Every structure is written in structure tokens, then in C-alpha cells.
């Protein structure tokens, strides 16, 4: 019985925040999207998800920089069933890949737009959903995710510009 209670408390929409990714999640909580950019001579590639090295040239000379928050829709899929909490409370939802204005692609969710209105290449803008929004519990962290440590977490999602 205790095992099923622990499983029902787990959240699968919260990141595991660590020392490396903390600047990203702190910025998101403030409504800002950050990227990593390579500082190696001749490279300069931006990338997302955050990594400690450049995936283009393998340099470890990378740093955080603010993103514009603008993107275009690359592709999407409507999710009608997801048994992981709290996604089951959100179905149907639109899982998507977007091209950020700075170049990298990012997996995300599209909100505030009915699926029939979505178009490849449509302009999007980031906004941030607090962890408790959209079903599945209250605001802030949750049991079952030691990385969030009870702190408020905001996740970048996109909507039409």
C-alpha cells in the first residue's frame, strides 16, 4: 500500500535540478529562457538542452546566454494517452519540436492553440508553466523528485506569437 502511495505522489513533469542546470531553471522561474553557446574560436554554436560541452566541436568553453523566446513550429503530435502523473490529467496535449530563433531545436509543448490551427513554420513565443499548472497537484516541487527540492519550477512551453 505504501508503495502505491509513493508511486502516485511521483511527478514526471519536473526536472532534476542540479548545480549545472540550476541557472537554467532559476531563469525559467523568472520567465527567461537560457541557451548554451560555444565560445570556441570558429564555432559559436548555440545548443539546447544544456550540456557542459559543445555538441558541434566538443569544446568545453561554453556559457549561458539569454534566448529571445521566439521559435517556429517544426513538428508536433497530439498525445491522447499518457499514464505518467500528471500528464494523464492534461490529455489531449500537443507535444512539439520547435526551432528556436537562435538555431537549436527544442522539445516542448504547444499551449493556447487548438490543434487544427497548428501549422509547420508558424511563429511561436515562449511562456512558462509553473509545475502545478495544467493538472497534477499544487505549485512547486513534489515528492519523488529530489532535484526540485520543493522549490517552484517553471517549464518553458510555447504558444502562437
Q: Is the dihedral of CA 134, 135, 136, 140 positive or negative?
A: positive
- What is this structure's pTM? 0.81
| DSSP H or E segment with residue 23 | helix 22-29
DSSP bridge pairs for 1: none
**Residue 49: cis peptide before it, omega within 30 degrees of 0:** yes
Q: One digit per residue, pLDDT tens: the chain, 161 residues?
A: 444 444 445 778 888 899 999 999 999 999 999 999 999 999 999 999 999 999 999 999 999 999 999 999 999 999 999 998 888 888 999 999 999 999 999 999 999 999 999 999 999 999 999 875 544 333 333 333 334 445 678 999 999 99
Amino acid at each position: 500500500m505504501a508503495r502505491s502511495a509513493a508511486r502516485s505522489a511521483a511527478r514526471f513533469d519536473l526536472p532534476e535540478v542540479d548545480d549545472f542546470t540550476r541557472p537554467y531553471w532559476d531563469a525559467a522561474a523568472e520567465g527567461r529562457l537560457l541557451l548554451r553557446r560555444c565560445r570556441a574560436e570558429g564555432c559559436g554554436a548555440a545548443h539546447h538542452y544544456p550540456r557542459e560541452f559543445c555538441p558541434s566541436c566538443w569544446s568545453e568553453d561554453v556559457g549561458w546566454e539569454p534566448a529571445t523566446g521566439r521559435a517556429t513550429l517544426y513538428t508536433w503530435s497530439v498525445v491522447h494517452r499518457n499514464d505518467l502523473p500528471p500528464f494523464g490529467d492534461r490529455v489531449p496535449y500537443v507535444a512539439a519540436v520547435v526551432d528556436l530563433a537562435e538555431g537549436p531545436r527544442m522539445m516542448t509543448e504547444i499551449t493556447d492553440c487548438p490543434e487544427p490551427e497548428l501549422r509547420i513554420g508558424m511563429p511561436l513565443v515562449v511562456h512558462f508553466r509553473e509545475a502545478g499548472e495544467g493538472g497534477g497537484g499544487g505549485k512547486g516541487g513534489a515528492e519523488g523528485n529530489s532535484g526540485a527540492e520543493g522549490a517552484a519550477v517553471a517549464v518553458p512551453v510555447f504558444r502562437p506569437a
